Amino acid sequence: MSQTKAPLPFDLTEPQKMLRKMVRELAERYVAPRAAEIDERDEYPEDIYKLLKGHGLLGIFFPEEYGGGGMGFFGGCIAIEEIARFCSNSPLPIVLNMLSSRVIDLSGSPEQKKHYITGLAKGDLRGSYALTEPHAGSDAGNIRTRADLEGEEWVINGQKAYCTGPDKADFITVAAKTDPSAGTRGITYFIVPTDTPGFSIGRHERKMGMRGVSTCELNFENAAVPKENQIGVLNKGFKTAMIGFNQMRPAIGSRAVGLAQGCLDYSLDYAKEREAFGVPISQHQAVQFMLADMFLDIEAARLLVYRAAALVDAGKIGKENARYFSAAKTFAADMAMKVAIDSIQVLGGAGYMKDHPLERFMRDAKQIQIVEGTSQIQRIIIARNLLDL
């Protein structure tokens, strides 16, 4: 009796396969040769930004109505993963477009969406995002940056920390307290152009990894923006931001998957060439087990990320699915760190040297465990979601 073959879970569509092939070829040709230099020189890869812009990848996940590629977050994750196989810095222009647009996309006005999302999608605008402060990271309700309505303007005062890429941004999506006594129920988001008087970029952090895109302090001293730069309903920004983070977590997870895949690819090639005790080290069971474990973990993480991305594109981004978004980010981030460490072990002493990319991958992997909510915070989210707390 004949049976109809069902599609495999997350089997890529033809457009998705074509996207993966195109991005992989671009990454191999243009990103791979630049990856070590980007890290070594500690400077923004403007050439990579232009490459992504020229091939429509900056807006690959945005709807076509805003000038995007219409391939959803799943398509965005595919592109991020393929680029991250060679360089964790290089997909960040796509990630920052996702991050800076989330609150606008979810609760912005039609005018805000048309101007900012279209600008990001076409590469005419660059955005950044600011929530964290020196004394408030995961505890978002403790932010102290204030926004006070004075006539027709919101006047913002405060300081932000660990903001990614603000020195290249045209605008920053900024969280501020509009009701200081209300905790998370008193947060509103604002669009702050970087040429706003009273806004300035402070210290550029000296980082262990992810050195190709800046991380900076931001200062707001009576920085005034028009009332129309308020995003969404007054004091409702926190809930919208949390939904936006749900959308972002598979994107961060895809960076981790790409990084880990790059480590495995490099380890496989090295293990086939390096000899010990008269044979390639790939013939030693100890090395084979390490390679097999890398593969197992990467495949599991990839499926978690794909499931989360599919939920985003299906619009199922609420609290009821928070466990899946956090699981994708957490498992992938922790997996990438483990794979990076093990890949160095496969190379032995050579893996510790900058002649090989694995020490760079390890430094970059550590950032993924921290950014967009640490692995520990994600586990709290998962547990509370399971327990319906």
372 catalytically annotated: yes
Question: How does pLDDT run across 171-195, given as a tens digit for each residue?
Answer: 999 999 999 999 999 999 999 999 9
Same domain, yes or no, for 144 and 199? yes
How much is the pLDDT for 1? 40
Q: Is residue 365 part of a domain?
A: yes
Question: How does pLDDT run across 303-337, given as a tens digit for each residue?
Answer: 999 999 999 999 999 999 999 999 999 999 999 99
* Domain end point (choices 203, 235, 267): 235
Q: Is residue 157 part of a domain?
A: yes
Provide the number of structural domains found in the chain.
Answer: 3
Same domain, yes or no, for 338 and 322? yes
Q: Is residue 270 part of a domain?
A: yes
Residue 150 and residue 226: Cα distance in Å, rounded? 10
What is the CB neighbour count within 10 angstroms for residue 352?
14
Same domain, yes or no, for 196 and 313? no
Q: Is residue 368 part of a domain?
A: yes
Q: Confidence class of residue 139 from pLDDT cuts 50, 70 and 90?
A: confident
Domain containing 29: what range?
14-122
Same domain, yes or no, for 203 and 254? no
Residue 264 and residue 279: Cα distance in Å, rounded? 20
Active-site choice (81, 133, 359, 372): 372
Same domain, yes or no, for 210 and 81? no
Question: How does pLDDT run across 346-363, given as a tens digit for each residue?
Answer: 999 999 999 999 999 999
Same domain, yes or no, for 86 and 139? no
Same domain, yes or no, for 253 and 381? yes
- pTM for the full model? 0.95
Residue 157 has pLDDT above 60, yes or no: yes
Same domain, yes or no, for 369 and 278? yes
* Domain end point (choices 64, 91, 122): 122
Task: Identify the weakest region by mean pLDDT among 36-40, 138-142, 309-313.
Answer: 138-142
Residue 2 has pLDDT above 70, yes or no: no
Within a 13 Å sphere around the CA of 371, how many CA atoms are in the beta-carbon half?
A: 28
DSSP structure string for 99-155: HHHHHHHHH--HHHIIIIIHHHHHTS--EEEE--BTTBSS-GGG---EEEEETTEEE
Residue 90 has pLDDT above 80, yes or no: yes
Q: What is the CATH number of the domain that holds 260?
A: 1.20.140.10
